[in-house]
Amino acid sequence: MDGARKLWDISPPIRVGIPVWPGDTAYQEARTWTLDDNCPVNVSRFTMSSHTGSHADAPFHYDPDGSTAGKMDLARYIGPCRVIDGRRHGGLVSAAMIEPFLDPGVERVLVRTYDRAPVDRWDDRFAAIDAAAIALLAARNVVLIGVDTPSLDPQESKSIEAHQMVRRHGLAILEGLILDDVPSGDYELIAPPLKLMTLDSAPVRAVLRSLP
């Protein structure tokens, strides 16, 4: 019966020109081997930031003693989740905004902030998540927060208060999702990070699946 369940691909396309955090590594790719009369295969190489596209922040990203991407608990990234529409945020998604949607048993929360996520340009005024909202999620036993922005915190933040609240409570983070075509409601999240053992973050191919 799983074949009848609808899938939503909530990852942006990884391609040359994908927007990246200002000053971070631009995505690049090149052909290493080319299929022709002398070679039976195409093989490529690519260079990218660990925070390109949809990705899972490891605790090491914001905590010098935190665990790295290859050691993160996969169970956090697979299971029931709730998509919340946070587009009426005024630049900051607050605890009061998300509280009405936190029914008992909600374990993972994805917050939509864009009508259409800017996959072809960098938006330096993306919405942020209030640290108090992170504390509320933790108090309600939520284990993962996901957003359709490059970061939980504003671009110019040096204190990264939302990330530090995540560190305090041990939540998992997904950033860079595309929730444009996903109605608010409940889904199964499937977004395991790559097993990059020593890195501060790892790319994910994030997918939502309709519940049975």
| Both structure tokens of 75 | 């169970």
- The answer to the question of residue 39 being in a domain is no
Encode pLDDT of 183-208 as tens digits: 999 999 999 999 999 999 999 999 99
Let me know if 163 is a catalytic residue.
no
When the pLDDT of each residue in the chain is averaged and rounded to a whole number, the result is: 96
Encode pLDDT of 203-212 as tens digits: 999 999 999 9
User: Using CA atoms, how far apart are residues 189 and 170, in angstroms rounded to an integer?
Assistant: 19
Asked whether 24 and 49 are in contact (CB, 8 A), the reply is: yes
User: Is the model's pLDDT at 2 over the cut of 80?
Assistant: no
Longest dimension (CA), the chain: 64
- The answer to the question of residue 96 being in a domain is yes
Q: What percent of the chain has pLDDT over 70?
A: 98
- The answer to the question of residue 92 being in a domain is yes
- The answer to the question of residue 37 being in a domain is no
Q: Of the listed 51, 55, 61, 89, which one is catalytic?
A: 61
- The answer to the question of residue 78 being in a domain is yes
- The answer to the question of residue 41 being in a domain is no
Residue 208, beta-bridge partner list: 8, 189
Share of the chain residues as helix, strand and coil, in percent rounded to the nearest 5: 20, 25, 55
Cβ neighbours of residue 208 under 8 Å, at least 6 residues apart? 7, 8, 10, 81, 83, 182, 187, 188, 189, 190
- State the Cα angle at 175 between 191 and 5, rounded to 5°: 35
Instruction: Give the pLDDT of residue 208.
Output: 98
Domain containing 77 — which CATH number? 3.50.30.50
- The answer to the question of residue 74 being in a domain is yes
Instruction: Give the pLDDT of residue 4.
Output: 83
Q: Looking at residues 7-23, what average pLDDT do you find?
A: 97
| Both structure tokens of 137 | 């999620």
User: Is the model's pLDDT at 108 over the cut of 70?
Assistant: yes
Range of the domain at 62: 2-12+50-209
- The answer to the question of residue 32 being in a domain is no
User: Is the model's pLDDT at 47 over the cut of 70?
Assistant: yes
The count of domains in the chain is 1
Instruction: Give the pLDDT of residue 11.
Output: 98
Q: Which amino acid is at 175?
A: E
Q: Looking at residues 16-22, what average pLDDT do you find?
A: 97
Asked whether 147 and 174 are in contact (CB, 8 A), the reply is: yes
Instruction: Give the pLDDT of residue 1.
Output: 46
User: Is the model's pLDDT at 173 over the cut of 80?
Assistant: yes
| Both structure tokens of 7 | 């899938």
